[in-house]
């Protein structure tokens, strides 16, 4: 099964479970969790079911396209369901079956994993799902988001697309994976992997990035103060990505690091709170809709 077919299969599966199919969010981010479709929408009492593919940038994992397992940018398939359905484990296992993984011929395990993202003030409990010893999915019940208690609780499923594909296609090297008939990951992603790695580790303008961080941070704050939650959040994402670029270049010391993370977290907290307030002011529209 090609990556493209995998994505189509997962989309179909979760669409059938009444998830809204979304597209990737157009601001750089380190994980699908950071999309406002997850981070903001999982806050507050309104029901929310969504699935989308998220290209996720991890500058520190860039390896110039030379490492068989690590990428500057990989893809996550992200599912959020709020409130978490009682049969969510079964729904998830059915999605693996849809991908052609027969549980009777494999060893599928739910191994304890407590997820935490200090930058977003987010934490959850759940598992990493193992397929024959390989972690293929993060399965998390959100307990806290943006410093606020999650209520009702959302469940988040994050499939590592390349990981899963390397298993399904039985390849050792991520660049050998088939994206679609006749097109490999190498064809599409080798050049950007190499260039982004070179840029991140060697060529990026550190001074400019530091300036950008401060500018984005200020803009996020002033925008938030004007009650414009979504634009403010975009600037938080930009802060986060800029920080990741600086961190990968090794120009942020350990103490400074904690300071930067705290600055982003404070913004994320402020925006989370503002988001819930704004939704409340609007009368939680999706809650009403469900009642109809």
Partner 1 sequence: MAKDILVEIGLEELPARFVDDAEYQLLTKTENWLNDSRISYTSIVSFSTPRRLAVLVKDAAEEQTSLEEEMKGPALKIAQDEASNWTKAAIGFTKGHGKTVDDIYTKDVKGTAYIFVKKQITGKPTHELLPQLSEIITSIQFPKNMRWAEQPLRYGRPIRWIVALFGTEVIPFEVAGVQTGNLTYGHRFLGEMVTLSVPANYERTLADQYTIVNPAKRRQMIADELTKTETDQGFQIPEDDELLGEVCNLVEYPTVFVGSFDQSYLALPPEVLITSMKEHQRYFPVKSNNGELLPYFAGVRNGDENGLDTVVRGNEKVLRARLSDAQFFFEEDQKQSIDYYLEKLKRIVFQEKLGTISDKVRRITAITNQLSQWLDLDEQTCSNAARAAEICKFDLPTSMVNEFTNLQGIIGETYALNAGETQAAARAVAEHYLPVQAEGTLPDSIEGAIVSVADKLDTIVGCISAGLVPSGSQDPYGLRRQATGVLKILKTYNWHITVESLLELAEQQYENAESELMDQDKSRSETEQFFRHRMTYLLKESAIEQDVIQAVLYNGIGVIPYMVAKAENLSHERNNPDFKPVQEALVRVLNLARKTDLTEVSQSAFETDSEQQLYEAYWSVTDGYKKATIQQEAAEALRQLGKLSQPIHDFFDHNMVMSDDEVIRNNRLALINQIAYLIYDYADLSAIEWKQHF
Binding residues (CB under 8 A) for partner 1: these are: 68-69, 83-86, 89, 93, 102-112, 114, 125, 127, 131-134, 141, 143, 150-153, 155, 167, 172, 253-255
Closer to partner 1 by CB, 170 or 207: give it: 170
Closer to partner 1 by CB, 26 or 170: give it: 170
Closer to partner 1 by CB, 86 or 203: give it: 86
Closer to partner 1 by CB, 108 or 148: give it: 108
3-state secondary structure the chain: CCHHHHHHHHHHHHHHCCCEECCCCCCCCCCHHHCHHHHCCCCCCCCEEEEEEEEEECHHHCCCCCCCCCCCEEEEEEEEEECCCCCHHHHHHHHHHHCCCCHHHCCEEEEEEEEEEHHHCEEEEEEEEEECCEEEEEEEEEEEECCEECCCCCEEEEEEHHHHHHHHCCCCCHHHCEEECCEEHHHHHHHHHHHHHHHHHHHCCHHHHHHHHHHHHHHHHHHHHCCCHHHHHHHHHHHHHHHHHHHHCCCCCHHHHHHHHHHHHHHHHHHHHHHHHHHHHCCCHHHHHHHC
Closer to partner 1 by CB, 109 or 198: give it: 109
Closer to partner 1 by CB, 23 or 102: give it: 102
CB of 180 to partner 1, least distance (A): 24
CB of 103 to partner 1, least distance (A): 4
CB of 49 to partner 1, least distance (A): 13
CB of 185 to partner 1, least distance (A): 16
CB of 281 to partner 1, least distance (A): 23
CB of 154 to partner 1, least distance (A): 9
Please give the Cα distance from 117 to 31 (Å, whole number).
10
């Amino acid at each position: 099964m090609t990556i493209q077919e995998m994505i189509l299969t997962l989309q179909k599966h979760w669409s059938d479970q009444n998830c809204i199919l979304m597209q990737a969010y157009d601001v750089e981010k380190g994980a699908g969790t950071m999309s406002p479709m997850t981070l903001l929408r999982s806050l507050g009492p309104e029901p929310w079911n969504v699935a989308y593919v998220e290209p996720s940038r991890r500058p520190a994992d860039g390896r110039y396209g030379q490492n068989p397992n690590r990428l500057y940018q990989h893809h996550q398939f992200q599912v959020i369901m709020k409130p978490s359905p009682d049969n969510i484990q079964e729904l998830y296992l059915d999605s693996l079956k849809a991908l052609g993984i027969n549980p009777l011929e494999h060893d599928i395990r739910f191994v304890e994993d407590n997820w935490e993202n200090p930058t977003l003030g987010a934490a959850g409990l759940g598992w990493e799902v193992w397929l024959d010893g390989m972690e293929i999915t993060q399965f998390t019940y959100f307990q806290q988001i943006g410093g606020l208690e999650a209520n009702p609780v959302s469940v988040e499923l994050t499939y590592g697309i390349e990981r899963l594909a390397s298993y399904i296609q039985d390849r050792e090297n991520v660049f050998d994976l088939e994206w679609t008939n006749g097109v490999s990951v190498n064809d599409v992603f080798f050049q950007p992997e190499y260039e982004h790695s070179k840029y991140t580790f060697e060529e990026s303008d550190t001074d400019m990035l530091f300036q950008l961080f401060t500018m984005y941070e200020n803009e996020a704050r002033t925008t938030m103060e004007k009650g414009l939650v979504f634009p403010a959040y975009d600037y938080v994402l930009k802060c986060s990505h800029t920080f990741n670029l600086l961190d990968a270049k090794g120009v942020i010391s350990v103490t400074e690091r904690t300071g930067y993370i705290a600055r982003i977290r404070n913004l994320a907290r402020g925006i989370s709170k503002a988001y819930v307030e704004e939704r409340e002011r609007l009368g939680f529209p999706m809650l009403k809709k469900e009642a109809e």
